[in-house]
């Protein structure tokens, strides 16, 4: 009989910020092993402080990635695409050599058209192009905090209407959905434009160009100028970091206070990632 692997113990994880606004690499943890409570708490604290955390040189089977995700929340199925046949809670995020469009290739928070958008997602790199295919992340606390007091007061009372059908995002899923024979599900989520993070209590801007169509009670034409201002403001370079993937890298982002955008600059090469999404709460 083989003994079960003992929990990986990391008294003080080595956490190294990668940019001024968000993002940190966590070194020295083997995510394939069960993690002890102290390590899980340290990773969660790093996520809340840095908004997105990165791990390198991991070797994870789909069940191991899922076990790691379960230490932080309840994995949820992606609503638009089936997951891996052997592990349906893992969504393959793929761009093939002959394809031109990359999945999710626009600034967005994940599936904000759901009533309960995810608290976070974990993306694990299986196959990476020789260069390109980085992912950008943006800090939405800073996006809110740097607005004028007047605009903050206006936004504090507004609700955003988020849809799964907005072309900015839906066209980035077309190749994958066609390949899988899936139909786009029409989903609409109405959420405060400024949400309060349930764990940190900080306010974050919660609109995104991928899914937010208009303000509740406003027409699309009336909403457009203010939304366009916010879409440009919320991804200013000084709010962002950029992650260079390698095979075995894993990124874990807090979807409640960040946005991300995978850069589509690697035509002719294959990029294969495995994503797990964790259930979130109703934004308030
Ligand atoms: C996604 O939105 O989950 C895709 C991110 C990426 O491919 O880097």
Helix (H, G, I), strand (E, B) or coil at 152: helix
Q: How many angstroms does the Cα of residue 78 sit away from the middle of ligand 1?
A: 13
What is the C-alpha radius of gyration for the chain, rounded to an integer number of angstroms?
A: 19
Identify whether 270 is a catalytic site residue: no
Q: How many angstroms does the Cα of residue 93 sit away from the middle of ligand 1?
A: 7
pLDDT of residue 80: 79
Residue with the larger pLDDT of the pair 3 and 29: 29
pLDDT of residue 3: 53
Residue 191, beta-bridge partner list:
160
235 lies in some domain: yes
pLDDT digits (tens, 9 = 90+) for 233-266: 999 999 999 999 999 999 999 999 999 999 999 9
Q: Which residues line ligand 1 (CB under 6 A)?
A: 93, 103-104, 121, 123, 135, 260, 262, 273, 275
5 lies in some domain: no
pLDDT of residue 106: 93
Q: How far is CA 274 from the centre of its chain?
A: 13
pLDDT of residue 13: 84
For a mutational test of ligand 1's pocket, the pick from 94, 113, 135, i.e. the residue with the most ligand atoms closer than 8 A to its C-beta, is 135
Q: How many angstroms does the Cα of residue 279 sit away from the middle of ligand 1?
A: 17
Q: How many angstroms does the Cα of residue 103 sit away from the middle of ligand 1?
A: 7
Span 116-137, average pLDDT: 98
- Residue bearing the CA closest to ligand 1, atom 2: 104
Q: For the chain, how many structural domains are there in total?
A: 1
- Active-site hit among 214, 256, 260, 271: 260
Residue whose tokens read 């083989």:
2
pLDDT of residue 82: 84
Span 131-146, average pLDDT: 98
- Residue bearing the CA closest to ligand 1, atom 4: 104
Identify whether 275 is a catalytic site residue: yes
- Active-site hit among 50, 108, 191, 211: 108
Say how many C-beta atoms besides its own lie within 10 A of residue 122's C-beta.
25
Least confident of 22-26, 41-45, 144-148, 184-188: 184-188
Residue 57 has pLDDT above 80, yes or no: yes
- Residue bearing the CA closest to ligand 1, atom 6: 262
CA distance 155 to 171: 28
pTM: 0.92
Identify whether 211 is a catalytic site residue: no
Is residue 7 very low, low, confident or very high in pLDDT (cuts 50, 70, 90)? low
pLDDT digits (tens, 9 = 90+) for 60-96: 999 999 999 999 999 998 887 889 999 999 999 999 9
Environment class of 91 (CB within 10 Å of its CB; exposed 0-12, middle 13-18, buried 19+): buried
Q: How many angstroms does the Cα of residue 150 sit away from the middle of ligand 1?
A: 34
8 lies in some domain: no
269 lies in some domain: yes
25 lies in some domain: yes
pLDDT of residue 238: 98
Q: Which atom of ligand 1 is nearest to the CA of 121?
A: 3
Span 21-37, average pLDDT: 96
127 lies in some domain: yes
Backbone torsions φ then ψ of 137, nearest 5 degrees: -130, 150
Residue 121, beta-bridge partner list:
253, 277
Residue closest to 266 by CA, chosen among 98, 93, 55, 136: 98
Q: Domain limits at 246?
A: 14-278
Report the share of the chain in percent with pLDDT over 70.
91
Identify whether 260 is a catalytic site residue: yes
Span 274-281, average pLDDT: 97
9 lies in some domain: no
First to last CA, the chain: 50
pLDDT digits (tens, 9 = 90+) for 168-222: 666 666 666 667 676 777 899 999 999 999 999 999 999 999 999 999 999 999 9
- Residue bearing the CA closest to ligand 1, atom 5: 262
pLDDT of residue 1: 45
pLDDT of residue 79: 80
pLDDT of residue 168: 67
Residue whose tokens read 């990773």:
43
128 lies in some domain: yes
Question: What CATH number corresponds to the domain at position 79?
Answer: 3.60.130.10
């Amino acid at each position: 009989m083989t003994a079960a692997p003992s929990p990986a113990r990391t008294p003080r994880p080595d956490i190294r910020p990668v940019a001024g606004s968000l993002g940190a690499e966590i070194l020295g943890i083997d995510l394939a092993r069960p993690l002890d409570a102290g390590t899980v708490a340290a990773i969660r604290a790093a996520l809340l402080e840095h908004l997105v955390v990165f791990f390198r040189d991991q070797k994870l089977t789909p069940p191991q990635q899922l076990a790691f995700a379960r230490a932080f929340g309840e994995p949820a199925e992606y609503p638009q695409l089936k997951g891996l046949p052997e592990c349906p809670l893992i969504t393959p995020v793929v761009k093939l050599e002959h394809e031109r469009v990359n999945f999710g290739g626009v600034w967005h928070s994940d599936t904000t058209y759901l009533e309960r958008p995810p608290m976070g997602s974990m993306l694990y790199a299986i196959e990476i192009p020789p260069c390109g295919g980085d992912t950008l992340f943006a800090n939405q606390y800073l996006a809110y905090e740097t607005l004028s007091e007047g605009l903050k007061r206006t936004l504090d009372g507004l609700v955003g209407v988020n849809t799964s059908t907005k072309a900015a995002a839906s066209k980035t899923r077309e190749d994958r959905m066609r390949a899988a024979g899936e139909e786009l599900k029409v989903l609409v989520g109405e959420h405060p434009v400024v949400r309060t993070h349930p764990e940190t209590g900080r306010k974050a801007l919660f609109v995104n160009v991928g899914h937010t169509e208009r303000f509740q009670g406003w027409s699309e034409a009336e909403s457009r100028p203010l939304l366009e201002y916010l879409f440009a403001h919320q991804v200013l370079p000084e709010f962002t970091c950029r992650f260079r993937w390698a095979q075995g890298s894993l990124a874990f982002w807090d979807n409640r206070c960040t946005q991300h955008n995978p850069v589509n600059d690697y035509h002719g090469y294959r990029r294969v990632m495995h994503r797990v999404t964790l259930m979130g709460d109703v934004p308030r």
